[in-house]
Amino acid sequence: MLLRRIVAACPQSRRMFSSSVNHGYESAIQELNKEMESVFGVPPANGLASSANNLKNETELPSPNISESSFELTHTGKSGEAQMVDVSPKESSKRKATAVCKVILGKKVFDLVVANQMGKGDVLTVAKIAGITAAKQTSNLIPLCHNINLSHVQVDLRLNHEDFSVTIEGEAASTGKTGVEMEAMTAVSIAGLTVYDMCKAASKDIAITDIRLKHKSGGKSGEYWWTQ
């Protein structure tokens, strides 16, 4: 009630308070205190300050609660620029990763691959070699990948008669400071593209699908299995 009486008696102070509510509560309260003291001859009670503070709290919007433990993109710098992760502080450990993909051929192409009658030759063997070669070139293909000394790369292709497809599985291994997931995924991706290249003369209706990481082990994040 006191605040309302004072604001009604002092329009100039009311305008001052209204224009300053979002810019400087402390200075506005001090000015009002001086006005009240000049009008009533006594300093204002504490209720004015508390009323203004309540008004301030009501007008402020709550800031979003952002967890400090939220994940960050390690290949992005503080200003948003791309960067290569510095792995020098990490400890070396045994790393292994397995990736898979599927190439859907269709019955016509599938039968030609099974019979090894494609014009370019043995589809599965060429794709296998391409996948192994690609794994060793991952850092040249993907800019921010580290150049890793791979200790093992294996690519296997399996024909699926039930849906006329080829399942490709690639495995990469190393002992070092960063994982080999990208090497395994690059291996199956390039192997799948090679199957397409070997078969495209017979049909363009070929789809490379379901490229994904199946399993990884080693490093700080530990073991991972695809469960979806």
Q: Which residues are catalytic?
A: 197
Q: Cα–Cα distance between 27 and 117 in angstroms, integer? A: 88
Residue 173 pairs with which residues in a beta bridge?
96, 152
Contact 219, 179 (CB under 8 A): yes
Give the helix/strand (H/E) hosting 219: none
Other Cβ atoms within 10 Å of 23 Cβ, number: 8
Q: How far is CA 227 from the centre of its chain?
A: 19
Biggest CA pair distance of the chain: 107
